[in-house]
Amino acid sequence: MKHLKFTYVDATTGVSVAAEPAMNGTKFPAVPGLAFAWARESAYPTPVPEFFGTCPDASPTQVDGVLGVFSQSDWDQMQADEMRARPDPESKRIAALWQAAHEYEYAQVSGSAIGLLAIGVLQGLPKCLAVQGWIKSIWTAYYERKSGTSADTDFSFAGACPHSIPELMVELGL
């Protein structure tokens, strides 16, 4: 059995996507008995995806799309390295939660407005305090979800920011 690293080829021309983009869809290279085993997902997205698989010893491997033929021990080591390089599901869940909370807040209150908000909060101004409470509700939900098992990335429960940046500027006398 041969242990291969390969990539897609153009479905019509058979030319490897490592040489040129596929214009007619993609398929695996024409290696008789090629059996896909795993992909290098830790490097995605990439214009030249890397797949790993096996084929019978008698199969020719000098074809477009085959990137290498490896010993089983080297192939097994590449697979072990790949599995270690992939983020674990818990890290992915937490990153998705953080990104969703950040995007929800930032879509309504930009980073430049945070400075204004901080000044108003220190002065105890009601509209600034209301916006601070709104932001706090988003991040409290994030930390609650993070500490549990929730993958809910919907922060719309917080509704719209209670006051606009121009309203905060007026409250601050700017």
Measured distance CA(20)–CA(10) in Å, rounded: 9
Specify the number of domains making up the chain.
2
The pLDDT score that the predictor gives to residue 89 is 84
User: Is 27 found in the same domain as 6?
Assistant: yes
User: Is 101 found in the same domain as 35?
Assistant: no
Q: Above pLDDT 70, what percent of the chain?
A: 100
pLDDT, tens digit (0-9, with 9 covering 90-100), for 103-131? 999 998 877 788 888 999 999 999 999 99
Contact 161, 128 (CB under 8 A): no
pLDDT, tens digit (0-9, with 9 covering 90-100), for 28-42? 999 999 999 999 988
User: Is 65 found in the same domain as 10?
Assistant: yes
Residue 12 has pLDDT above 80, yes or no: yes
Measured distance CA(61)–CA(57) in Å, rounded: 9
The pLDDT score that the predictor gives to residue 88 is 82
pLDDT, tens digit (0-9, with 9 covering 90-100), for 42-73? 888 888 999 999 999 999 999 999 999 999 99
Looking at 85, 101, 125, which one is the last position of a domain? 85
Domain region containing 149: 89-172
Measured distance CA(157)–CA(105) in Å, rounded: 12
User: Is 130 found in the same domain as 62?
Assistant: no
